[in-house]
Amino acid sequence: MDKNRTEGTKHEVKGAVKEAVGKVTGNKTKEVAGNVEKNAGKAQKEVGKAADAARDAAKK
């Protein structure tokens, strides 16, 4: 499994937590920062999936 998949998932979860804390506390800055980190984590996870797919295709 590509490292980007695990790191992306970590950032996605961390961003979701930040976003939730921002919503609960009314801190728009933290909420937006969490949303950005969550979406960046999703993108990084997709890069990892693509790398895994490319590696699997190269093995065949």
How confident is the model over 7-60, as pLDDT tens digits? 999 999 999 999 999 999 999 999 999 999 999 999 999 999 999 999 999 988
Tokens (6 digits) for 21: 């804390």
> Which pLDDT value is given to residue 1?
83
> Which pLDDT value is given to residue 37?
98
> Which pLDDT value is given to residue 2?
87
pLDDT tens digits along 48-57: 999 999 999 9
Host domain of residue 11: 3-59
The residues, any chain, with a CB within 8 Å of residue 22's CB and separated by 6 or more, are 28, 29, 30, 31, 32, 33, 34
> Which pLDDT value is given to residue 60?
80
Task: Look up tokens 């797919």; give the residue.
Answer: 53
> Which pLDDT value is given to residue 53?
94
What is the domain count for the chain? 1
